[in-house]
Structure 1
Amino acid sequence: MTEEKKRFVLYEYLLYFWKHKNYFLLIPILTTLLIAGVVYALKGNDGYTGTAFVYTGSIETPDLTSPKNLEADFEKINPKVDVFVSGKRNVKITLKGKSKAKVENDLKEMVSEYYKRLDEQYDKQLVASVPYVFDLEASYKAKEKVLEHYMDKLEEQISTPSQYNDTKELIIKTEESIAEEKAIVHRMMGTISFFEPPEVLNKETTKADTYLKESIAAGLILGFVLAFAILILLKYIEDARRYYNKD
């Protein structure tokens, strides 16, 4: 009996990889160039990215807080705009373009117009609220004086029980009206004290990210994996050919 030659498969593959080590150089370079080229073609033309954060304060009007409404307004200045509104009443305006000067000017115009509208709405709400509070204060203070008159009248001798009951009823209704108006004033004063004005938090223009580092890393990893796969396939084909040729 002849002893069959023992095979070390892993060692054979390592030798095969070493003989064809140029695959591990050429293929990763090609995949890196390919991926980096595709990513740059998609992202490289963005040029610059302008970002602005605007705090809307206590403004909740849909025309000034809805992303779709805002984008429709901003697109009149530059169509390459994106708007995101967070739950914390922060509006993020993102604008992309090839020219840094144009991105800066368009973003400045958008933020300026938007802040102007917010400020006008803030003044309207404040102007509408404060006089109403003053009117209510004047109203319940006047009623308090009338209430004093009713109380004095109640202490006087009233000729008939019906007059007494009518005066008593007037006092109760006046007290209820005063209490209601005081509650409204208190509630609105609390609202006004926490009424926050709009504010431009941040505005900057930076070079757009081309994701070059990420695309290079992805290309190298994919290239090495592809080189391993190709060499394993080639080794398998060579072994299969030798086996069938031997027969």
Structure 2
Amino acid sequence: MAEEKKYTLYEYLLYFWKRKWLFVIIPLATAVLIAAAVYILKADSRGYIAEGTVFTGNVNQKELTDPDVIEAKYQDVKGLAINVPERDKVKFTVKAKSKTEAEQVLDQVTKQYFADLAKNAQLRIDITSKQLSWLKRRVDVLDSNLALYNEKLTDQNLDITREKDYMELIGKSEDELTRASERAHKMGGDIDLFSYPQILPAEVHKAKSYIPESLAIGIILGLILTVALLTLMKYLSDARKFYKEKGSFLD
């Protein structure tokens, strides 16, 4: 008798089709379980996130721009994270359960930080202004001295030694006047072009929940698990049937 031809794939597909309801129940159950686990484990994924950026301008003092130092200062603020995305910007991120709480905490932190920046900026302007004022007075003095020395050189009774002394004084005064004028010009430009700190517009949004991703992963894993489970069930069913027909059973 010719051996009966078997269509294994067809048999498995038919077996799966008769139990197609498992392809709905198991993936859904797996998706719900994984989503619930992520929801419980990722407690920080619930609530709101407020993000605000402060432009530091020309303030470059390490105590005010280094993220580690800033974090140490605001370490008591719950849910606060700080990073420096660019050289002259500091970004504050606040996580809170409610939108109002996130906004309030962010507003308080950014305003306090901005006040420190503004104080440092004004201090730099004041110091530079004082130095500029002193340089301008020094320039005036040097101009007066040069006028006096040049006037002395016009004296017909001036001896050679005194003339050389005045010439030397004029040379030194002109060099110093040039350096003082250049410094004064640079300081004036620094004051005029100084970039003051600013609080940039903030935004508040819901924290990423990861629920859609968890559901998708759960469904995919559930489908794989269903195929594996039905394949095992079919294999065991065929094996049981085979040994039953042979009159032999495995205990």
Normalising by structure 2, what TM-score?
A: 0.83
Cα pair 1:48 1:207 within 8 Å, conserved: yes
Secondary structure at the aligned position of 1:85 is classed as strand
Taking the TM superposition and a 5 Å limit, the aligned residue runs for 1:65-80 are: 65-76=65-76, 78-80=77-79
Cα pair 1:158 1:164 within 8 Å, conserved: no
**Residue 59 (str. 1) matches residue 59 (str. 2):** yes
Mark the CA change 1:234 to 1:89 in structure 2 (over 3 Å): closer, same or farther: farther
**Residue 226 (str. 1) matches residue 225 (str. 2):** yes
Q: Any stretches of 5+ residues in structure 1 without a counterpart?
A: none
In 2, Cα distance between the equivalents of 1:196 and 1:123?
11
In 1, Cα distance between the equivalents of 2:230 and 2:126?
77
Q: Deviations over 1:113-147 (max 9, x none)?
A: 22211111111111111221122122113212322
In 1, Cα distance between the equivalents of 2:156 and 2:225?
108
Matched to 1:148, the amino acid is A
Question: Percent identity of the aligned residues?
Answer: 35
Q: Counterpart of 2:249?
A: none
Shift of 1:9: 4.5
Mark the CA change 1:193 to 1:240 in structure 2 (over 3 Å): closer, same or farther: farther
In 1, Cα distance between the equivalents of 2:144 and 2:230?
100
Taking the TM superposition and a 5 Å limit, the aligned residue runs for 1:98-247 are: 98-157=97-156, 159-238=158-237
Matched to 1:187, the amino acid is K
Matched to 2:120, the amino acid is Q
In 2, Cα distance between the equivalents of 1:158 and 1:240?
133
Matched to 1:52, the amino acid is G
Cα pair 1:44 1:210 within 8 Å, conserved: no
Q: Counterpart of 2:19?
A: 20
Matched to 2:163, the amino acid is Y
In 1, Cα distance between the equivalents of 2:62 and 2:141?
39
In 1, Cα distance between the equivalents of 2:218 and 2:94?
29
Shift of 1:199: 1.1
Q: Any stretches of 5+ residues in structure 2 without a counterpart?
A: 247-251
Moved more, 164-173 or 201-210: 201-210
Secondary structure at the aligned position of 1:86 is classed as strand
Q: Deviations over 1:207-245 (max 9, x none)?
A: 333222222222222222332333344445555666677
Matched to 1:211, the amino acid is Y
**Residue 84 (str. 1) matches residue 101 (str. 2):** no
Moved more, 119-128 or 219-228: 219-228
Normalising by structure 1, what TM-score?
A: 0.84
In 2, Cα distance between the equivalents of 1:35 and 1:246?
43
Q: Deviations over 1:128-181 (max 9, x none)?
A: 112211221221132123223223333444644332322221111111111111
Cα pair 1:48 1:97 within 8 Å, conserved: yes
Mark the CA change 1:183 to 1:240 in structure 2 (over 3 Å): closer, same or farther: farther
**Residue 49 (str. 1) matches residue 49 (str. 2):** yes
Mark the CA change 1:103 to 1:14 in structure 2 (over 3 Å): closer, same or farther: same
Alignment length (residue pairs): 245
In 1, Cα distance between the equivalents of 2:245 and 2:153?
127
Moved more, 233-242 or 170-179: 233-242
Mark the CA change 1:165 to 1:231 in structure 2 (over 3 Å): closer, same or farther: farther
In 1, Cα distance between the equivalents of 2:30 and 2:157?
105
